Amino acid sequence: MDHQVLTAALFLAVVALTLFITIRASRQTSGAADFYAGGRSFSGFQNGLAIGGDYMSAASFLGISGAIALAGYDGFLYSIGFLVAWLVALLLVAEMLRNSGRYTMADQLAYRMKQRPVRTAAATSTVVVSIFYLLAQMVGAGSLVVLLLGIDKENTLAVSAVIAGVGALMIVYVTVGGMKGTTWVQIVKAVLLMVGSALIVVLVLAKFDFNLSELLGAAANNSGKEGFLEPGLKYGIDLTHKLDFLSLGLALVLGTAGLPHILVRFYTVPTSRDARKSVLWAIGLIGVFYLFTLVLGFGAAALLNTGVGSDVASSEGNLASPLLAEAVGGGAGSTGGAILLALISAVAFATILAVVAGLTLTSSTSVAHDIYNSVIRKGQATEAEEIRVTRYAAAGLGIVAILLAIPARNLNIAFLVALAFAVAASANLPSIVYNMFWKRFNTRGATWSIYGGLISAITLVFFSPVVSGKTAVTPDGETISKALFPLGVDFHWFPLENPGLLSIPLGFFFGWLGTVTSKEPAAEERFTELEVRALTGAGAEQAVQH
Amino acid sequence: MTSDISPHDMAARHDPVYDELHASPEFAELKRRYRGFAFPATAAFLVWYLTYVVLSMWATDFMSTKVVGNINVALVLGLLQFATTFLLAWLYSGYSTKKLDPLARELDDRFVSLAGKASHGRSEH
């Protein structure tokens, strides 16, 4: 059986299923709370699944298992920060945000600050983080889908069509289904992802008699790399690489709870207690999922050729999981192999769709709710007007993302995901934490911490090796650029690829500096109100009763 | 279906009921209990995670020590990061249900009776 035909059929099935869900959800959507927050009526468990669906991107599913397949232990090390990060969300952010906000990240700041400056700042940061993340996902989607369907990646028309198709689907999910549609797409994706990877994990482990040590030994042997099971293969090369990983680790741990598309998920449940439950479920799911990637990655290293020039190595690890599925299904050319390969490819496709939909909804909501209604219309826009603007914004942002992703498809932009986490940790988290816990924090502090963190992170990355100067040598001995700019352009002076080590402290510093230099009196009454509301839920937004 | 406070006049309005609740001993106790768990727990897991990262980067010999079979210290510590994350989440779940939620519900009920506003924070599903 030809696996590419089967893959294409399953892709179409995913599209049909998600569109059906979206249309169904649109029939149950009637007002702003429905459109932006799914009526606040999802259960903690449902929202936990949706958080998993929003968070476990193709970069985690294919990227982390690929990183483990190629770099062994260091790939696993990378996944841990993504999980531990959820404790910040659980302990400091989720419940309080649910109680004090409404639709966007900015709501919580606007509670005790001057509306227009803080909403403008928070919306800017939301859109910037979302666009970075979105661009990385869409370019990744383009190259992945052509890879999985076996289209020649030099075929410009086909790759562009795939990117445009993904973009068009995401616009439809958001404009038609709103938060309800998007949430259900994410729930379905999370279930597919967990079931699909569990199946491969069991098949891999069965090959090694469910003995982890044996799997690791086989992986180390087959990889042919010295120290494959020990830290250092990827990040331990020299001091710069080590500091770079520390910087990345900080951004992952502190950035997750500042990602706008994650924050808005806490508004989709009825109470802060459900927000807590959803994070608990998410921690369970995401933790188990990263344990799966451990088996998938080492399984790929043990069972596949990952040497120089292999399919796994030349796809930078992205093909490790799909090819592993084919191998445990019976190998290339077998029916079992074809079925499992197609299945895992469809899961990866669903993964991409769910993540891009969440990002688009969040950024367009912020454009409509924070910028259009609060800043431009001074809060006078009706709900219907605001939702209409959200739909336009989603279509606009989607089209911009498609138009940017098509020319960027052959550029090295994988750093954008790490940059999104760094911006979230440097710009968003300081303002959220200060706002909740520091009485004196004020408007200038909030805007300075957001702009300060945002500009620091972006400036440092602009002058880092990922934008100019990073090179690699191909198996043929040719030197190629691994940076955004082509070979020969090199204006980098910041040595690290990840800015977090510097930009996160800068974000906190600017928040402090802005606060203490401002003459604005602290809104003490409003802080009292925020504290009571955040901790008790008194006066918090209610679920929609249908 | 949503609250009657429009986002734009929020910063100007203030409900005095909140001051009353804020001044109550129950709220002071709730805040003390919440911070007494959340702050040390956050500090602890951040230190533990950073220790693990620093060991992975700068103590590779120690991390490469074999424990059993092909399983080395690095892998054990990595899996322990998973275990402690699950454990802390589970501990907070129990603590918040027992120590925080009853006080929060009581204060929310008081808010509803004093302010005469419906609040969803207290209802069950």
Answer yes or no: are the C-beta atoms of A78 and A404 closer than 8 Å. no
| B-chain residue closest to A213, CA distance | B70
Q: Quick one: tokens of A500?
A: 């977090």
Residue A50 lies in a domain: yes
Residue A546 lies in a domain: no
With a CB cutoff of 8 Å and minimum separation 6, the contacts of A114 are: A443, A520, B11
Closest among A372, A420, A415, A418 to A396, alpha carbons compared: A372
Answer yes or no: are the C-beta atoms of A541 and A33 closer than 8 Å. yes
Instruction: Write out chain A residues lying below 8 Å of B52, CB-based.
Output: 80
Residue B6 lies in a domain: no
Residues in chain B: 125
Please give the model's pTM, rounded to 2 decimal places. Answer: 0.92
Task: Determine whether the interchain pair A287/B85 forms a contact, defined as Cβ–Cβ distance below 8 Å.
Answer: yes
- Mutate: best of A98, A536, A545, A546, partner B, most B CBs <10 A: A536
Q: Which residues of chain A have pLDDT under 50?
A: none
pLDDT at A348: 86
Answer yes or no: are the C-beta atoms of A199 and A342 closer than 8 Å. no
Give B3 to chain A, closest Cα distance, Å: 6
Q: What span, in angstroms and rounded, lies between the C-alpha atoms of A147 and A315?
A: 9
For residue A83, what is the domain's CATH number? 1.20.1730.10
Instruction: Write out chain A residues lying below 8 Å of B98, CB-based.
Output: none
Strand A479-481 to B66-68 pairing: unpaired
Segments forming the whole domain that contains residue A408: 3-536
CA B102, B108, B111, B117 torsion: positive or negative?
A: negative
Answer yes or no: are the C-beta atoms of A293 and A60 closer than 8 Å. yes
pLDDT at B124: 36
Residue A542 lies in a domain: no
Angle at CA A271, nearest 5°, toward A268 and A272? 100
CB-defined contacts A:B, below 8 A: 225
Instruction: Write out chain A residues lying below 8 Å of B119, CB-based.
Output: 537-540, 542
Q: What span, in angstroms and rounded, lies between the C-alpha atoms of B58 and A236?
A: 8
Of B42, B74, B117, the CB nearest to A230: B74
pLDDT at A493: 93
pLDDT at B120: 46
Answer yes or no: are the C-beta atoms of A509 and A431 closer than 8 Å. no
pLDDT, one tens digit per residue, over A347-382 is 888 888 888 999 999 999 999 999 998 888 888 889
ipTM tops the 0.85 cut: yes
pLDDT at B78: 95
Segments forming the whole domain that contains residue B85: 16-115
Q: How many domains, in total, are found in chain B?
A: 1
**Burial profile A410-430: b = 16 or more Cβ within 10 angstroms, e = fewer:** eebbbbbbbbbbbbbbbbbbb
Q: How many domains, in total, are found in chain A?
A: 1
What is chain B's pLDDT, residue by residue, as a tens digit (125 residues)? 333 344 444 444 578 889 889 999 999 999 999 999 999 999 999 999 999 999 999 998 899 898 888 899 999 999 999 999 999 999 999 999 999 999 999 999 999 888 875 544 433 33
Give A220 to chain B, closest Cα distance, Å: 9
Q: Quick one: tokens of A229?
A: 């099971």
- CB within 8 Å of chain A, chain B residues 20-39: 21-22, 27, 30-31, 34, 37-38
pLDDT at A145: 82
Task: Determine whether the interchain pair A86/B85 forms a contact, defined as Cβ–Cβ distance below 8 Å.
Answer: yes
Residue B3 lies in a domain: no
Residue B69 lies in a domain: yes
pLDDT at A546: 67
Residue B123 lies in a domain: no
